[in-house]
Structure 1
């Protein structure tokens, strides 16, 4: 998104800790240096003090969640207050786990998630630590404070929008999709009848209970056995992001997430390269965005073993259908997720905030 805003003539400074192993690009590095031990937080504070001028006098400050700086909740609350006082408007992202999301999921919003399906809570034991963290008093106070103090909340996925919509009763909430930079020369896959279909299963070992890729991978393996020699399944774990992107370009089909309602960043990165995704593509989502034609995703759901298997049998053995979905994947990303288009949606929101139009939708 930063690139798109800069291309439109705006001045943007990105502060971040790099999001762990992703090591995302940033202008100001807030990563804790664990060589400092218990004093590693002091380095973060020093970085904030060094770049004080970047923290004040802005038209818009956007934070990605309630704990946007890798410090304790109390520090984040103080920083939210500071940013609110010394800048014109503050926007908060609804980009992942937080108490609102987990509370909504526990009530069946959306219809299914990694913590809920078939009308009841699921993965309870696996999610115990995660749920306990979300229920900690400092987390709840900081999360609620960030939501109240922000002038606008932006959900990057439809499921997050649903969660927050069930909690909000005013016009603070907006949906703006994830931005993707489409690789130059991206084109649909040509999947000739004479070659093997290449399927990639990417697993995060410590997080697969949140993703469900291993489960889908087992179903794909079953379909591969039923069609001996026609489907090649490659399962990888913990691959660096650059290497992963290279593998996506050489893959026909990516196994992504079982519990997702809509395509997330991983899915979209694959789709931008013409790789067909097995993951979240609910009709409810297509209706929400007003899409009547493109259906690029092989949609699977938790608790629907036989339905999922039949869906995979039908799609993975139909080369013409997969080629069509490959082209639609690129078309879908270009239509909804091109980083320049997404930047303009944020720009539109910022302009309306600056114009005093608080209840936009």
Structure 2
């Protein structure tokens, strides 16, 4: 029996991976997580301590409780850390040492903001990126500050200690040295639990863009392009731009949506786009050739967009002109996630990397 510890959560990635691993058989999986903060994602077998207080006493108590929890995590064949930020950087090196001493192999998923990503951005490896809209993130990794040196020192130590870094997208791979990383492994989703519905527009094509993490998504570009589309095709389109709605209402809106506009500031797409595609939605998101090549595919049904209003508008207008293709695009979306993102396939990919590293 293979014993696996998944440490931390990131948009349900570890939750879906756990489900896929358990379906493989002969694997015992423990997910230690606080539910990815405010998202409160379920599926954890063991809670991780968390602290949002700035009180020195509460922070010290948090570090003590975190180390106490880590001390219990022993005897695993595999420990996989979802992102450096799941471990408090103040005690980061000590936590990593304990995990390394008490378990067999350690792996790090690269799937969010970390020093390697910021470094790649500063080295000019992106034509555009989310840090263009969020420049305040970059200085937090500057070695000119004491906190920055602590954070960077911890992340460099973590990268040097793990057996492999596993990127989930092309963009998360380019900041690391080649020998430190595995091949890119797509995000997993539980496709079978997501009901597919044929995507047939009514009198109007319904476009939806959710308002959360607006700068990160490039909402200002998407919103302007959608508003232009609405002005030019008032009888053909319905545009919904909202994010401050109850979950039940969100589900209703999504159920009648034909086109989901996710985000345009990155090079790749995430789990939200995959979930929409599994339901038969046409998704507009970042899907550059580098991203698809890293997945081993030449094309995808995702309509690629970038932070350029005219570029996004052109893609939106093309959908209106070719509305008869929407049902077929929806079917191709479902097939794509079945082929590329199915959690059982992804679990096999992780097992192969773990066993051969």
Structure 1 equivalent of residue 207 of structure 2: 199
Aligned length: 332
CA offsets, 1:80-139, max 9 Å, x none?
011111111000010111111011112232332123xxxxxx44xx412x1121221111
Which TM-score applies when normalising by structure 1?
0.84
Is 2:342 the counterpart of 1:329? no
Structure 2 equivalent of residue 347 of structure 1: 351
Aligned partner of residue 81 in structure 1, secondary structure? helix
Match of 1:24 among 23, 38, 41: 41
Q: Which runs of 5+ in 1 are unaligned?
A: 116-121, 354-361
Structure 2 equivalent of residue 140 of structure 1: 152
Q: CA RMSD for the aligned pairs?
A: 2.4
Aligned partner of residue 188 in structure 1, secondary structure? coil
Alignment of 1:70-109 (within 5 A): 71=88, 73-109=89-125
Structure 1: distance between partners of 2:157 and 2:85: 11
Is 2:293 the counterpart of 1:287? yes
Alignment of 1:88-237 (within 5 A): 88-115=104-131, 122-123=132-133, 126-128=134-136, 130-135=137-142, 136-161=148-173, 163-164=174-175, 167-170=176-179, 172-182=181-191, 183-192=193-202, 195-204=203-212, 207-237=213-243
Q: 1:256 to 1:149 in 2, by over 3 A?
A: same
Q: 1:242 to 1:172 in 2, by over 3 A?
A: farther
CA offsets, 1:136-186, max 9 Å, x none?
11111011111110101011112112x23xx30325333111011123431
Match of 2:76 among 45, 58, 79: 58
Aligned partner of residue 12 in structure 1, secondary structure? strand
Q: 1:187 to 1:48 in 2, by over 3 A?
A: farther
Aligned partner of residue 206 in structure 2, secondary structure? strand
| Residue pair 2:200, 2:326 contacting (<8 A) in 1 also | no
Structure 2: distance between partners of 1:12 and 1:185: 27
Distance apart, 1:247 and its partner CA: 3.5
Structure 2: distance between partners of 1:284 and 1:46: 42
| Residue pair 1:32, 1:40 contacting (<8 A) in 2 also | no
